[in-house]
Structure 1
Amino acid sequence: MEAVTAAWERYAAGRTPRRTRNAAGAATWLNWTQYADHGPDESVIGGVEGRRVLEIGCGSGCNLAHLATLGAQCVGIDIAPSQREKAEKRWGHLPGLSFRTAEARDFLAAHPDSFDVVLSIFGPVWFTDPTTFLPLVRRSLTAGGVFAFSHKPPQTDRRPGERLREARAVARWDHSPHEWASLLAGACFTNITATVIDPPKGACEGTLLVRAETERHRLVEAVGTNESSGR
């Protein structure tokens, strides 16, 4: 784990801070893709006012800060300690927004039924074995909760779980839209969409965007199962 944390610290150190204003002049915005001023906005996850939102791999907090300005109660976690410092320095003045240093799986396991929305933008979903990670995400969501994430489309020359050349301590799971849909269905998510957003003019690589929900009657069903088994 120390090697993984160190790898993400090195990555964070090389990141350029987000602009103070986007092309539309906004001070906060949500960007799912690797390109500036491109792709869909927060409408992917629906209205967020009054909802509890968790971003895993929040980095310096810019995407989550935007949701806080829309009235969401937001928590951002990142494994790199320096990211929390950056996030709090830039966005600590916003109400309803907090940041923590945590490993994603540990945090999710400790917070069942805690969030209405979980999102990850080029975050841990891409770098964690989905067979263990997706069930943890699902358990952290309330009934009818939304899970959304984005990352680059799969590379044909990389196998799922293969180590990154630039960060040997970190593995990456490259899956196609169809594969992600199958994995999410296997983890009991519903209303799954997985598509590749076309890149802007002049760029050659799109962005994979995935959205899914938990069952709206999941908690009722779980209680009924426990009662029938005598638990």
Structure 2
Amino acid sequence: MNSINIFNQDCMQMLKDLPKNSIDLVVTDPPYIVKTEGGGAGAFGYQNRKWHQEIEFMTNGFSNNVLDELCQVMKKINIYIFCSQYQLTQLINYFENKKCNWNLISWHKDNPVPSCNNKYLSDTEYIFFAREKGVKLGGTYYTKRKYYVTHINTKEKHQYKHPTVKPVSIIDNLIINSSKEQDVILDPFMGSGSTGESALKLDRKFIGIEIKPEYYQIACSRLKKFDRQI
């Protein structure tokens, strides 16, 4: 396969077309379940109406059908999922039923939006990691932390025009820990292409799927430096 294969499609349709047992690692940031009522800012910490409109399409989470399809295409279950606190029960129950080991990694923003009416600050996001028995965890002392503290990545949000873009530095560690060079990394909710940038920079192959044309085009432009054929 090529080093990069990216698609502007619904991931449920595309996942059914991927070969079974072909993916070494999934790193993805699917639609969150967010709560915007009461506290005012929601799980992402943005009161601004423009940001709310941009993340409106993400507020219903995703179904276990997506997880079923991902488990079909992975060689062995080996997956990182950025998520909100409201999705943890779903993910824990699903992967414990699959007899997987799991860990919870947290990303803390040290400069969250100061809106906390009747709730705690929206300063933390989670990365749920599940792996099937027998899947090795590599990396080093420096890449295997479970606790990240950074500023809100405002620069990347504006650069790539995506309200929930994740820091490539965190994704780098996830990929280093859970894959090898030339392994195939999949992101079925590609967004602006952060996982793709990290995978290709680290000499992995990348498959990305994004349903929204505007974000797909941003990812294409972003990843062209790795493959001019995009």
Q: Could you tell me the TM-score, scaled by structure 2's length?
A: 0.37
TM-score (structure 1 length as normaliser): 0.37
Comparing both chains, which one has the higher relative contact order based on Cα–Cα distances under 8 Å and sequence gaps of 6 or more? 2
